Amino acid sequence: MSDVTRAEVCAVACAELFRDNGEILASAFGTIPAIGARLARHTFSPDLLLTDGEAHFVRGTWAVGEPAEGVVEAWSPFRGIFDLVWNGKRHVIMIPVQIDAQGNVNISALGDHDRPTVQLVGVRGAPGNSVHHPTSYWAPKHSTRVFVPAVDMVAGVGNDSAAKGGSAARRFHDLRRVVTNLAVLDFQPGSGAMRLVSVHPGVTVEEVQEATGFPLVVEGEVPETRLPTDEELTLIREVIDPRGLRDREVPA
């Protein structure tokens, strides 16, 4: 197949976040991360657990934006999610409003903490997620408004904040990757600084750095993010997202 869109490249990059994760709950926020999680389970990570968004683990592959179709594997009440979180049996992809070079994330409020100019959703589960189990991020609009020198409030715990928090914060802290509409990034071992892993086809390293509010770690020649296979494209276009919802999140 040809004419691969940027949204489809992003979906595959999100799927790769779950490669070799084993039997673990994949919690993916956003349309493209949800496509990625279903694509990963259908292909190279069959042991992933997916919920119907309510109270069941469901087997099978169904379209985003539609009710889950498949065999119910297990009952998953809301209280059970906390057991999975605290035992590290979950990999979440969250959407940052702000993220800094160490992976600290803000989803709570913009401006001064005592008198914020914009109230957002609050910290929600970000602190517990980021110190108990693998955490990745999806940023559909890579810009200096999102990738900032310092977040206004730490909701998701970054590498430097975990180090300051002592053993309780460091022990299971596991920031994996950041996927955006421009690139894939991770965090350099040792320094904990955000590092450029790959750029999507048609994007340059310079464009990614220009859209980032802090210096990125760039090691050698940066490769392109891999394209989806023909099988993956068929799954995305005909099974997982036949309505093309992905293009609303990342326009072609």
Rounded CA separation 168/134 (Å):
15
List the domain boundaries for the chain.
6-249
Rounded CA separation 49/59 (Å):
8
Taking the whole predicted model, whether its pTM rises above 0.85 is answered as yes
Check residues 2 and 145 and name the one with the higher pLDDT: 145
Average pLDDT over residues 207-226: 98
Tokens describing residue 155 = 């909701």
Rounded CA separation 50/118 (Å):
33
pLDDT of residue 4: 97
Rounded CA separation 109/128 (Å):
18
pLDDT of residue 76: 83
* pLDDT tens digits along 157-212: 999 999 999 998 999 999 999 999 999 999 999 999 999 999 999 999 999 999 99
* pLDDT tens digits along 30-78: 999 999 999 999 999 999 999 998 889 999 999 999 999 889 999 888 8
May I ask the CATH class of domain 6-249? alpha beta
